[in-house]
Amino acid sequence: MDNQLIDRITLEPGKRGGKPCIRHMRITVYDVLGWLAAGMTAQEILADYPELEAEDIQACLVFAADRERRMVRIAA
């Protein structure tokens, strides 16, 4: 995991219900992943949200991948 990227993700209890956000902003990892899943390109996201940087989008992907890796599996 790239620590410089993951450090862009912040958790604050009073902000957005404690969801992981980008650099203390109100934009969550979930928001970015949702936009990407809906078909937006990174360039479109950056154009719509100029406060974001390309590294923020990459950080969201790294965060989600790490979270998935650590997810506990339950046998069926």
- pLDDT at position 37, please? 98
DSSP-H helix ranges across the chain: 3-6, 29-37, 42-48, 54-70
- pLDDT at position 53, please? 98
* Predicted structure pTM score: 0.85
Q: How many residues does the chain have?
A: 76
Q: 27 in the Ramachandran plot: left (φ > 0), alpha (ψ -120 to 50) or beta?
A: beta
Q: Rounded to an integer, what distance in angstroms lies between the CA atom of residue 12 and that of residue 24?
A: 8
List, for the chain, all residue ranges whose pLDDT scores fall below the cut of 50.
none
| Domain range summary for the chain, segments of one domain joined by + | 3-68
What CATH number does the domain located at 3-68 have?
1.10.10.10
